[in-house]
């Protein structure tokens, strides 16, 4: 099971990243747990410097942008 975490304070870009990450995982048909972390004091633990961020299985994959759904899919396989 993939553990996916979207890091962000709740801005529209963060919400969009959350939505398309879930959509990508669903389209791939993988088992996943998706959560949103809004506590900015915990962002540094992942090395995040700019929101939004995407963490896949404990590794920061994206920061400061919203990638395409195809880019997210490639991060999940």
For the question of residue 17 being annotated catalytic, the response is: no
Catalytic residue among 14, 18, 25, 76: 14
- Asked whether 21 and 69 are in contact (CB, 8 A), the reply is no
Is 64 tagged catalytic? no
31 CB-near residues (< 8 Å, 6+ apart): 1, 2
Q: Exactly one of 3, 9, 11, 45 is catalytic; which is it?
A: 11
Q: Across the strands, what pairs with 3?
A: 33
Q: Which residues are catalytic?
A: 11, 14
């Amino acid at each position: 099971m993939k553990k996916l975490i979207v890091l962000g304070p709740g801005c529209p870009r963060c919400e969009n990243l959350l939505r398309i990450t879930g959509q990508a995982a669903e389209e791939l048909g993988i088992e996943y747990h998706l959560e949103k972390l809004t506590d900015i004091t915990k962002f540094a633990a992942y090395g995040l410097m700019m929101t939004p961020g995407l963490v896949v299985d404990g590794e920061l994959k994206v920061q400061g942008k919203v990638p395409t759904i195809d880019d997210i899919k490639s991060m999940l396989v």
